[in-house]
Amino acid sequence: MQLRIPGPTPCPPQALQAMGQQMMNHRGGEFAEILRATTEKLKQVFQTKGDVFVLTASGTGGMEAAIVNTLSPGDRVLSVSNGFFGERFADIVKAYGAEAVPLYFEWGKPVDPDAIARALKADGNIKAVLVTHNETSTGMTNNLGEISTVVKKFDKLLLVDAISSLGCINLPVDDWRCDVVVTASQKGWMVPPGLAMVSMSEKAWQAHAHSKMPRCYWDFTLAKNYLQKGQTPWTPAVSVCYALNTTLDLMLSEGLDNIFARHAHVARKTRDGVKALGLSLFPDENYASDTITAVDASDRIDVSKLIRLLREEHQVIIAGGQDKLSGKIFRIGHLGSVYDDDIESVLEALDRVLPQVRKG
Ligand SMILES: Cc1ncc(COP(=O)(O)O)c(C=O)c1O
């Protein structure tokens, strides 16, 4: 099977082998070594000198941790969104009693940094800005560098969902002054679901000191204290930690620039291939993601039949659209362990199946 959804992504054999190891004492020296090494390697990929925590959670847990560790009930938060996952960030803020001030853009259209500047100028009480770096639901990447310049001009806290970009698309956390950045193991990291990784800047720690949101499982003061002992406060997903420690070695030996270039190359090949089949991209192509290609199916393609035939007849698994894009787009994931051959076989399968799924 060719798993080409936007995550979970295929695990390389080294990761699968690492997970086959026997359990160890998560409060013992051997695991402490693994956690320390993993954290140091993660800092290299995050391009940060700040703290990075490995949480046993899915990505959404990491988003919740970002919020409860820096904000207080009643805080006004600019919630910038142009897709399904941007709205999820806002939902978490609201669930914890903060006030989400929405700055929403059409799905598939880029976030406009000038609009953020206008919103921050108009409302001096906004404390933080939430942004999705790579909107998995629409296959597009927002210009986080420019967004950060604006947010920092107003000296606001910047919380970033980089779940489907970090480790695949350049995101220099310190250079772009991102205060809290969240990613998750089942994406570009090439390991199974189970871990969220979250960075904290100095400014985020200052916010943490005053933040009053209720927290227990997610408390980063606890996480920091335990990390000094080479532990996590709660029992971690030990096997996924083994795997992540291993894939981080693979990633660092490939080199960050090479990883970014490979993703850019594979993404371009996917987009060119899809267009050569007479299809159009869903998002503004200038912002098309290097990790997910979203294809416009409009009313011309039966998406559920396409997905079924690709799986049953060609062993290729792709994703449909989420929420209001259900039936309107389909998405090809190309993040993590992905090379030319993988994309070629997806495109070949698409070519075969398309005549059977065109409507009208
Ligand atoms: C951009 C983005 N944010 C958040 C999430 C949610 O992550 P999880 O399903 O691991 O909770 C995802 C998962 O696809 C994502 O791609």
pLDDT per position as a tens digit, 302-312: 999 999 999 99
For ligand 1, whether the C-beta of 85 sits within 6 Å is: yes
Query: How many angstroms does the Cα of residue 72 sit away from the middle of ligand 1?
Result: 23
Q: What is the pLDDT of residue 299?
A: 75
Q: What is the pLDDT of residue 359?
A: 86
d(CA 145, CA 156): 15
CA neighbours within 13 Å on the CB side: how many for 98?
31
Question: pLDDT digit string (tens) for 60-81?
Answer: 999 999 999 999 999 999 999 9
From the alpha carbon of 6, which atom of ligand 1 is closest?
14
Query: How many angstroms does the Cα of residue 355 sit away from the middle of ligand 1?
Result: 32
Judged against a pLDDT cut of 80, whether residue 106 lies above it is answered with yes
Query: How many angstroms does the Cα of residue 329 sit away from the middle of ligand 1?
Result: 18
| Substitution candidate for ligand 1 out of 132, 134, 136 with most atoms within 8 A of CB | 136
Above pLDDT 90, what percent of the chain?
Answer: 99
Q: What is the pLDDT of residue 155?
A: 98
Query: How many angstroms does the Cα of residue 85 sit away from the middle of ligand 1?
Result: 7
Mean pLDDT value across the chain: 97
For ligand 1, whether the C-beta of 60 sits within 6 Å is: yes
Give the relative orientation of helices 29-46 and 238-254 as an angle to the nearest 10 degrees: 40
For ligand 1, whether the C-beta of 189 sits within 6 Å is: no
**Position 200 confidence tier, pLDDT thresholds 50, 70, 90:** very high
Query: How many angstroms does the Cα of residue 358 sit away from the middle of ligand 1?
Result: 30
Query: How many angstroms does the Cα of residue 359 sit away from the middle of ligand 1?
Result: 31
Supply the residue whose CA is at minimum distance from atom 7 of ligand 1: 59
- Report the DSSP pairing between strands 316-317 and 319-320: unpaired
For ligand 1, whether the C-beta of 184 sits within 6 Å is: yes
Task: Specify the range with the lowest mean pLDDT, choosing from 31-40, 194-203, 297-306.
Answer: 297-306
Q: What is the pLDDT of residue 222?
A: 98
Supply the residue whose CA is at minimum distance from atom 8 of ligand 1: 59
For ligand 1, whether the C-beta of 81 sits within 6 Å is: no
Q: What is the pLDDT of residue 125?
A: 98
The stretch 14-30 carries a mean pLDDT of: 98
Residue in 357, 299, 356 with CA at minimum distance from that of residue 328:
299
Query: How many angstroms does the Cα of residue 61 sit away from the middle of ligand 1?
Result: 9
Q: What is the pLDDT of residue 291?
A: 98
Question: pLDDT digit string (tens) for 240-251?
Answer: 999 999 999 999
Question: pLDDT digit string (tens) for 329-347?
Answer: 999 999 999 999 999 999 9
For ligand 1, whether the C-beta of 337 sits within 6 Å is: no
**Position 38 confidence tier, pLDDT thresholds 50, 70, 90:** very high
Q: What is the pLDDT of residue 292?
A: 98
Judged against a pLDDT cut of 80, whether residue 360 lies above it is answered with no
Judged against a pLDDT cut of 80, whether residue 277 lies above it is answered with yes
For ligand 1, whether the C-beta of 165 sits within 6 Å is: no
Give Cβ neighbours of residue 120 (< 8 Å, ≥ 6 apart).
Answer: 78, 126, 129, 150, 151, 154, 156
Judged against a pLDDT cut of 90, whether residue 54 lies above it is answered with yes
What would the two tokens of residue 80 be? 């910038």
Judged against a pLDDT cut of 80, whether residue 85 lies above it is answered with yes
